[in-house]
Structures are given as C-alpha cells and as structure tokens.
Amino acid sequence: MAAPLFLLAPPRSYTSLVNAMIGQHPQAFGLPELCLFNVERLIDLWNGVEGENAERGAMARHGLMRAVAEIYCGEQSTATINMARAWASVREHWETGRVFRELVDKLDPLVAVEKSPSYTVAVPRMKALYRTFPEARFIHLVRHPIPQGKSVMAINNGAFTMRMGAFEIHEDFANLEPQIAWHDVNLNILEFLEGVPAGQQICVRGEDIMADPHAKLAEIARWLGLSDDDDAIEEMMHPERSPFACFGPLAAMFGNDPNFLSGPTFRPHTPKIPKLDSPLPWRSDGKGLYPEVISLAREFGYEH
Amino acid sequence: MSINAESGDPPAPEEQTAATAGSSKKRERLSPVPLDKRGMVDPSQMAPHQAALRQSVVDSFNAKKARSFLQRQVNHIAASRELANGIKFLFDENGRAPVNAPLEDIIEERRMVEYHLMWLESLVLEMRHRLVKVREIEDAALEVLAGASDE
C-alpha cells in the first residue's frame, strides 16, 4: 500500500490549493476533507459526539460521500452519492481508521493525499491518524500569522477562533484573537510531529509554493518518491482539474473550503509577507502579535 | 521550504517518540480555555469570571450570526421581488416571451431561474430529510405508547 500523505495546517493556510495540487500528480490522488479522524466510529459522523459535530455535521460528511462516489463509481451524482450512503451504512460501526484504510487500499498504488484542518484542533486526532498509518508522511504547511488571522476572521465571523478557545481575556471584557488559534494549532502540530520520524515529515511555507510553484512542487514530489518530470509538475499546476475542485451534487455539495470550490484555478503570485511587528488588521487598538507568536513565526522562517 | 527528511530506515514510532521528546523547548498554549481528555477545548473548566467573559463573547458572536442570517434572508426576498418585477418585460400577457426579446436577457433569466430552482431543491431535500427523522421519532413514540397501553 502506498503510504498516504497528510497536510497538517490551521485553516486558511493554502491547504485546499496545495492538497489539490499535490493530488493532481499522476501518481497521487487528492481527496476532499474526509474528517474521519474527528470521530472514532463512522456512525459518529452522523450522530455527532456530544454535539461537537451538530452544527456542521452534514458538511463534515460531504467530503467522504464525494470521495466514495468518485473512487467506487467514477463520478459524483445524486445516484452515486446515494450509493456512498449505502456504502457508509454497511460500515457504520467500523472504526474510522479502518474506513480510511479501505479507501487508501482501493487507491493503491496512487498516493492518497488528504487534509482536514479539523484534525489539527486536537493532538489525539492526529495520533489516531498516525496509529492507523504509521508509514504516513506529513507536510506541516505554515502561513504567516497576520494574513492567516485576517483570513480566518473574514470567514464566518471568525468562528474557528471560537472553536479553538482563542479568547483574549481582560479585566472586564474578552475578545476573539485569531493569533492565539494560529499559535495553538501550530503547537498541536509540532507536539504531534515530535512523535513522527524526521524522514516522514517536512515543513513548508505556503507562500513559498505560491511564489515558486514549479520548484517547490518538484521538491515535494521528490521527497514523496514521485516523478518530478515536467509533465507531472505541469499537471500539479492545475488543481482545478481535480474531480473535487468544484461543488458536488446537491446531496453532497462541499467537502472543501467553499472559496476554493468556487475558484480553484491557481494563479502564481508572490504573497506579501508583512513584518512581524506590523499592527494587526483585525484589531482597532493598534496592537501587534504576541511575543510567543513572533517567536514561533520566526522558527517557521518569517524573519522580519 | 525546510525539508527534515533523513536517509535510512525511520525508527518505529514509539522509539521516535522517546527519542525526540524534549528535543524542542516546551511552549505553552495561549488559549485560556483548558483542554479535555480528547484534546478539545472545554469551557466548563474555566474559572467563573473567565467563563462569564467568554460567554459574553459567544453571545455576541451568535447575535451577530443571527443578524447576518436574517439580513441575507431579507436581501434574498427583496432580490426575488426585484427579479420578478425586472423580468415582467420578458413576457407578454399570455406568459410567452415576445418575439423580439434580447437573447442575452433570456439566457440570463434562464440561468437565474435555474439557480433559484437549485436553491429550492436543496431546501426541499433538507426538509424531507428532517421530515423522515421526525417521523421516525413519532413512530417510535407511538410504539412506546401502544406498548404501555397493552400492558
């Protein structure tokens, strides 16, 4: 079985784009967000765990339904999504790791590529993933905390920061602070990766891929043991060709960031990297990043 | 990009855990919300004062969310009315498109109607799904009642 590849990153860190790009390599298969390791058993994706999945439960299943429909039927339609539901129903009491392994076996010899930012919310989820795939490889994808925080706050009023408990508590008031979520999620990833052999993990800055995609994607392909010839890299430059780079049928429309689904085409650009002492765009008091966040960002190569 | 790949066979995960633990300096989480045994944030463990402040942020977030949802719905209703008024000119008194209607307008209208149909279909699908669940609960409750009356 080809060892799967997982992208670990907070949301809004180029994960959708990079996942689809790597997944477009002729020897790989980019999956949508399966969210399987958010729960222990498959049926919990439907039931939720103590209300945890209650709010976006259906959306958390869309990726799996689309993936099953595509892998087993070669297309995503209302009929094949219904088939995927039946497929899941038969396996409803399976552990989610076993379900994931079946999909990876089915894709073999292609390398399964997946990213579900929800795994990085809790270290036990990533450990469950690693227990299932001890041979898996991991890319820790990082993005500068300021544009990432700005982007997180622009999506759903910053709901992710609340989910991460990213509150700044003062004497008589509190506010949401996305840099706390950026810091704590990256800390979770680092803590998890401490237990993963160095040969199975790399750390990549999303901005570097955006600025020089050919070179960086070729580096990643070589690291994965995949071909880095021009044809393969050219294919990786077209994430929009992925069967999951669009909205799915009505019964399973999502499975990824809606912004990516509505505009998956990659346009090479050099992202602006702000100075680490810049004022934060989501704050009106002119304050900047915490020293802990600056220190961690420097470790990721954001020097200024 | 920093690639930490090393040549040679990787050690077993358990060995590697022991070997690398403590290799990097210990950092602390910044969130004031403690974690539960699943590694998820657990607000119930917060100090009362902090929990109250957190709750005020959550309430304000939910209020903002509800307000923006209502605003979207109002905009949608207003947009639907505007659309209805806007396309009146496309049809004659018998509901047929006039012979000289601009093709662009007809295509645009067709796309808009398709979009609305899609939206409505997804709504219907969701309602049917809810109905099935409610019926199941209703049936189960009636069965319990029937069983109780038999006894």
Percentage of residues in chain A having pLDDT higher than 90: 83
pLDDT band at A209 (very low <50, low <70, confident <90, very high): very high
Nearest to A169 among B12, B32, B61 (CB): B32
CB A126 within 8 A of CB A189: yes
What's the whole-number mean pLDDT along residues B8-17?
39
**A22 vs A272, which has greater pLDDT?**
A22
**Chain mean pLDDT for chain A:** 93
Nearest to B3 among A157, A158, A219 (CB): A219
Q: Which residues pair with A109 in a beta bridge?
A: none
| Whether the predicted model's global pTM rises above the 0.90 cut | no
Q: Could you tell me whether strands A201-205 and B2-3 are parallel, antiparallel, or unpaired per DSSP bridges? A: antiparallel
The identity of residue A224, as a single letter, is L
Instruction: For residue A165, give how far its alpha carbon lies from the nearest alpha carbon of chain B (Å).
Output: 6
Give the dihedral sign, CA A239/A244/A250/A256: negative
CB B39 within 8 A of CB A191: no
Task: Give yes or no for B50 touching A (CB within 8 A).
Answer: yes
CB A36 within 8 A of CB A96: yes
**A158 vs A205, which has greater pLDDT?**
A205
A237-295 pLDDT, tens digit per residue, is: 999 999 999 999 988 999 999 889 999 999 889 999 999 999 999 998 989 999 999 99
Inter-chain CB proximity B27 and A164 less than 8 Å: no
pLDDT score of A158? 87
Q: Look up the ipTM and state it.
A: 0.85
CB pairs under 8 A between A and B: 131
